[in-house]
Structure formats: C-alpha cells, structure tokens
Amino acid sequence: MSDNKTYSCLLFDMDGTIADTSEGIYNGLRYMALKIGIPALPEDVMHTFLGPPLTGSLMKAYGMTEDEAVVAVKIYREYYSKTGVMECNPYPGFCETVRKLRDAGVRIFVATSKPTPFAEKIVEKFGITDCFEAVIGSNLDNTRSKKVEVINYILDTYNLDKSECLMIGDKSNDIDGAKQAGIDSLAVTYGFGSIEELEGAGPSYMVSTPEEILSYAGV
C-alpha cells in the first residue's frame, strides 16, 4: 500500500496507457496519405500523433486547415475503424492490474481522446470490458476531443468527487487535462511519452509499470 494518498476512482487514458496502439495508428496514417496523395510521415513524426486529438496533429504536421484535417480523419478512419483498431496489444501486466482494481471495488473509467467506439472495441478485444464502469472518448464528429472535456464529462455524468479521482496517462495532454479539470494525475513512463515530457507537465505522481498503479488505489 502506498504512503501517498489513495483514490477510489481511476480514469485511464487508452493509447500508451492501456495499450500500445501504434501499429494501427501508423498504418492508418499511411493509408490516409496514400489515398490523399501526400507524402507519408516518417515514424518519428507519426509518434507525436499518439495520444492527442488527430485533427490538431494533422494540422500541425501537414499544415492542413481544420476542414482539410477533418476530411483526412474520415479517410484515416476508413482503415482504422475496420483494421487498425485491432492492431494493438495491452501493455504487459495491465489487464491483470485492472482486474485487481475491479475486484477491490475501485471505480474505473477509460478517459481517452480516441473515439468512444474504437476504445470500446479495444477493451472488448482484451477481455476487460467488465472492469470499467464506462468507456468514454471523443465523439465521431470530433467533439469532446480535448482531454479536459472527456474528464469533465465523466466527472459530471457520474457525479464523482474530484478529490477521489486520479487521471492516469502517458502524455502531457493527460496531465494538462487533469489539471484543467481539477483532479490529480499519475504519469506512466512505459507508454508513448518521454520522461522529459512527463516531468515537464508536472504530474502528481509517476510510475514505470502498470502494477505500481495498484498502490494508488490502496490495493
């Protein structure tokens, strides 16, 4: 059990926290580039797409307008919705960790910028749907895509006490979203974000394995 404060409600990011989803996202971006007729991005640039809302990442990487990025996202999803969403794996130890949290009576949510239907498919593939009280992501029309919007939706919809909630993620946008929503945050270093990025974001806590998360719920 941790000497730090413990929480009765945990909110988990998806990409880079629950699962390594990079293969499907990279393949979706390559498909989109080919269909539009634009250069495919190098992998180090595609890596920056892992976590934040896709529209903004496309605008930054390609210099697209918002309207152009919305069209590009639709093309990306032609691939991702059918094939890419299944090209992922849970991080070692994560499924066991989340089952222990569920069995201990901890309230657990997915809070992701990934569209809700895609996040639901991933937790179903991993056999951990029943561990989560709800899987909440962005809408397919690109609304509710900012992390703070997702967190606030969960807090409001499920009438949660902010002091009992901990946002768990691997990127600075997870930590920033938690701060904007007024809840504590736990950064995981096994995902897509660098330690430098995470330290710069200033999380409440930091861990290097899924198993370490248990102590923050008193498990």
What residue segments make up the domains of the chain, in order of their start? 9-20+88-217, 22-86
CA 195 – CA 191 distance, rounded (Å): 10
**What does each of the 219 residues of the chain score in pLDDT, given as a tens digit?**
446 799 999 999 999 999 999 999 999 999 999 999 999 999 999 999 997 889 999 999 999 999 999 999 999 999 999 999 999 999 999 999 999 999 999 999 999 999 999 999 999 999 999 999 999 999 999 899 999 999 999 999 999 999 999 999 999 999 999 999 999 999 999 999 999 999 999 999 999 999 999 999 999
- Say what the pLDDT of residue 2 is: 47
Half-sphere exposure of 131 (CA within 13 A, CB side): 24
CB contact at 8 A, 24 and 85: yes
Helix (H, G, I), strand (E, B) or coil at 89: strand
CA 105 – CA 197 distance, rounded (Å): 32
Q: What angle do CA 124, 133, 166 make, to 5 degrees?
A: 110
Half-sphere exposure of 217 (CA within 13 A, CB side): 27
Rama region for 86: left / alpha / beta (φ>0; ψ in -120 to 50; rest): alpha
In whole angstroms, what separates CA 54 from the centre of its chain?
12
- Say what the pLDDT of residue 1 is: 41
Annotated catalytic residues are 13
| Domains 9-20+88-217 and 22-86 equal at CATH topology level | no
Contacts of 125 (CB under 8 A, 6+ apart): 86, 88
CATH number of 9-20+88-217: 3.40.50.1000
Contacts of 132 (CB under 8 A, 6+ apart): 98, 108, 109, 110, 123
Half-sphere exposure of 65 (CA within 13 A, CB side): 2
Token pair 């719920």 in the structure block, residue: 217
CB contact at 8 A, 51 and 171: yes
- Say what the pLDDT of residue 3 is: 64
Beta strands in the chain (DSSP E): 9-12, 19-20, 89-90, 107-115, 134-138, 165-169, 184-188, 205-207
The pTM of this model reads 0.94
CATH number of 22-86: 1.10.150.240
Rama region for 41: left / alpha / beta (φ>0; ψ in -120 to 50; rest): beta
